[in-house]
């Protein structure tokens, strides 16, 4: 029995239509064949056991076996002749032929028929996995409205070039990745990121293929062709992930290769040894051997792991978590410690003014002087101060003789007075008069303090801080409740790192680290805890992400590097997906264990019951094969009901 490995390839719209059409035709054929075989088998049973018409009954049983077993026989003999392998299909054909030869045609037909149903269930499971990928592909529309020569023209998405302008009206799906150049609207990004709250988009913001424009008119400049969009990369990576096998899957595959020949040898021994050594009836022991052959087919065991892994990976993709392979599904469940980069991971990576402290001049004047000077600088702290001044409606003043003082700050003339904005070191070199108590207090809270003053004195302080993400504290608490240790690794100074760690509830932190230092920390943690997950932005943290047991990149929707390098990518900047990821991983492995255990116990129990003759051939297939395969598939499908928590609203 097989789960199809056929690849779902990225192709033009007509290709996906043809593929879904072919699958629909094959599905219809299977349903027709199953229905026809069921009728033939049912009528045959009526003829044999009620009307006692043996010959017509045998003919109907042969028709049932031929209709249901043609493809099974072809696959079995093809595998034997060309691959030199004893397949499960061949076991079933041998069992069915043996049943007819010893006068149990009804059971031979039932074996083939029920096995065909079981195989169809597995094909359905494989098609369901492929459909989940196809549904991702179908998120993006097939045509885009493009502005060409002043007119709007509908064009197939694969013919739209980079830098062309597309138009998206309210309620329409965005067909390609791009940047908004005109209009304001909220966009539902749930199909890509899993976030349920629409995100406001305006000029300068990036938008992605497959997301939905809710209410406004947008003009978008295309930044990626149809085969290069974030959506197409997600599809490709999920397809590749389904092919990567975890250690458990590899073990099951290896076990199955040796298991099938062993079962055939055991069945041959059961059929011959009692007769030739002890003179027992050949027909009786041959029948028991056939039952053993059927009940020992490792169909459910073979699919127990891959069907659960595929279900878990596709479920994660729908919730905005891209897992690169089942090996990482398994690894996450074993992780004992999560190491977090600070900037851009635990925090938003965007500085914000938190305090403006007046020492000599009014608060508004302190902010005005600082913002006027910093408006001429490109430093991130400068931008934060200017942004704060704009929000408060503070007027900026004209600056003359502006000069940047490398590594220390800036200076310039406002009116008749020269002012300085910068670090403590700058004002100490100026020998300016100021009280450090207020500055130390702010720095002990993890804030960066900017001094504002002239050559003689400091007139005020401005504190800036990288804003902690809304989900950070709750996620750290949740991870701690789940028994996972958290460690923060950052390039910030010791005081800032300590303050941030205390605010978010992380007990262990490493500060003042270079990228190579982060790599060493991950190695140390690996020695102490064996399995370590590293969570970072996927760019500056690439070495540490690569060294960790599992590298998890944040905000991969906007980063090609993150999509390509990380083992797992969170499609949006949402740390709350981490507890979901751990829960999904553990539930997936629980289901794998349940499936494997059920397969072994039920098949083992049926094998034991076969010797006293308590199990018939049709019962072996109906419960020990078809029923068990169905149970394994349905159990794996439960993973699709695990949902990530709703994220916080964003503007």
d(CA 386, CA 294): 76
Nearest to 303 by CA among 583, 6, 26, 631: 631
Other CB atoms within a 10 A radius of the CB of residue 368 amount to 20
d(CA 285, CA 266): 12
**Residues 578 and 479: beta-carbon distance below 8 Å:** yes
- How distant, in Å, are the alpha carbons of 228, 330, 626, 627 from that of 249? 31, 10, 21, 22
**Residues 143 and 155: beta-carbon distance below 8 Å:** yes
Residues listed for the chain: 651
d(CA 100, CA 63): 13
Q: E-strand spans in 359-406?
A: 400-405
Q: Which entry of 149, 158, 227, 341 is annotated as an active-site residue? A: 341
- C-alpha angle 25-29-32 in degrees, rounded to nearest 5: 135
Residue 522, Cβ density class (10 Å: 0-12 exposed, 13-18 middle, ≥19 buried): buried
d(CA 609, CA 179): 67
**Residues 167 and 219: beta-carbon distance below 8 Å:** yes
Residues 6+ apart with CB under 8 A from 360: 453, 457, 458, 459, 460
541 is catalytic: no
Angle between helices 299-318 and 247-278 (to 10 degrees): 160
Helix (H) or strand (E) run with residue 304 in it: helix 299-318
d(CA 76, CA 91): 8
Helix (H) or strand (E) run with residue 288 in it: helix 282-295
d(CA 480, CA 474): 10
Q: Which residue has tokens 């942004």?
A: 387
Catalytically active residues, by annotation: 341
């Amino acid at each position: 029995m097989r789960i199809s490995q056929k690849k779902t390839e990225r192709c033009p719209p007509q290709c996906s239509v043809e593929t879904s059409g072919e699958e629909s035709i094959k599905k219809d054929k299977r349903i027709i064949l199953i229905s026809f075989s069921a009728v033939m088998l049912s009528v045959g049973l009526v003829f044999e056991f009620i009307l006692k018409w043996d010959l017509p009954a045998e003919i109907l049983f042969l028709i049932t076996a031929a209709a249901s077993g043609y493809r099974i026989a072809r696959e079995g003999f093809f595998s034997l002749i060309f691959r030199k392998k004893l397949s499960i299909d061949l076991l079933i054909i041998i069992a069915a032929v043996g049943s007819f030869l010893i006068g149990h045609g009804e059971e031979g037909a039932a074996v083939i028929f029920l096995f065909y149903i079981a195989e169809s269930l597995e094909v359905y499971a494989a098609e369901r996995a492929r459909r989940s990928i196809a549904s991702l592909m179908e998120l993006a529309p097939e045509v885009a409205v493009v502005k060409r020569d002043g007119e709007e023209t509908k064009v197939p998405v694969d013919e739209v070039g980079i830098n062309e302008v597309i138009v998206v009206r309210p309620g329409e799906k965005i067909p390609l990745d791009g940047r908004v150049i005109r209009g304001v609207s909220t966009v539902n990004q749930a199909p890509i990121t899993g976030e349920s709250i629409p995100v406001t988009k305006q000029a300068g913001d990036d938008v992605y293929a497959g997301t939905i424009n809710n209410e406004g008119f947008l003009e978008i400049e295309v930044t990626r062709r149809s085969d290069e969009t974030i959506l197409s990369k997600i599809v490709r990576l999920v397809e590749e992930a389904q092919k990567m096998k975890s250690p458990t899957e590899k073990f099951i595959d290896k076990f199955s290769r040796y298991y099938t020949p062993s079962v055939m040898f055991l069945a041959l021994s059961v059929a011959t040894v009692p007769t030739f050594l002890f003179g027992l009836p050949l027909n009786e022991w041959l029948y028991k051997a056939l039952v053993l052959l059927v009940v020992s087919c490792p169909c459910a065991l073979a699919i127990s792991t891959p069907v659960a892994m595929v279900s878990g990976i596709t479920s994660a993709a729908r919730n905005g978590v891209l897992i690169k392979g089942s090996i990482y599904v398994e690894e996450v469940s074993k992780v004992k410690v999560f190491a977090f980069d600070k900037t851009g991971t635990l925090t938003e990576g965007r500085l914000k003014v938190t305090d403006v402290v007046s020492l000599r001049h009014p608060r508004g004047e302190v902010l005005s002087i600082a913002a006027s000077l910093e408006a001429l600088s490109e430093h991130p702290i400068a931008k934060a101060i200017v942004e704060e001044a704009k929000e408060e409606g503070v007027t900026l003043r004209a600056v003359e003789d502006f000069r940047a003082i490398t590594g220390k700050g800036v200076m310039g003339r406002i009116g008749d007075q020269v002012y300085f904005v910068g670090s403590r070191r700058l004002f100490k070199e100026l020998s300016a008069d100021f009280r450090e108590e207020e500055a130390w207090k702010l720095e002990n809270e993890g804030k960066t303090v900017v001094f504002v003053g002239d050559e003689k004195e400091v007139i005020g302080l401005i504190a800036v801080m990288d804003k902690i993400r809304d989900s950070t504290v709750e996620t750290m608490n949740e991870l701690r409740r789940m028994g996972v240790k958290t460690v923060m690794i950052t390039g910030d100074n010791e005081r800032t790192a300590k303050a941030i760690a205390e605010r978010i509830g992380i007990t262990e932190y490493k500060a003042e680290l270079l990228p190579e230092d982060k790599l060493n920390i991950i190695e140390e943690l690996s020695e102490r805890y064996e399995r370590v997950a590293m969570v970072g932005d996927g760019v500056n943290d690439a070495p540490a992400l690569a060294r960790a047991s599992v590298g998890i990149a944040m905000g991969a929707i906007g980063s090609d590097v993150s999509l390509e390098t990380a083992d797992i990518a969170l499609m949006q900047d949402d740390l709350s997906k981490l507890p979901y990821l751990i829960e999904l991983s553990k539930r997936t492995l629980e289901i794998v264990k349940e499936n494997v255990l059920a397969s072994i116990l039920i098949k083992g129990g049926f094998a034991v019951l076969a010797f006293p003759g308590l199990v018939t051939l049709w019962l072996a297939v109906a419960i020990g094969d078809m029923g068990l395969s169905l149970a394994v598939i349905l159990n794996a499908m439960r993973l699709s009901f695990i949902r990530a928590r709703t994220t916080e609203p964003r503007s």
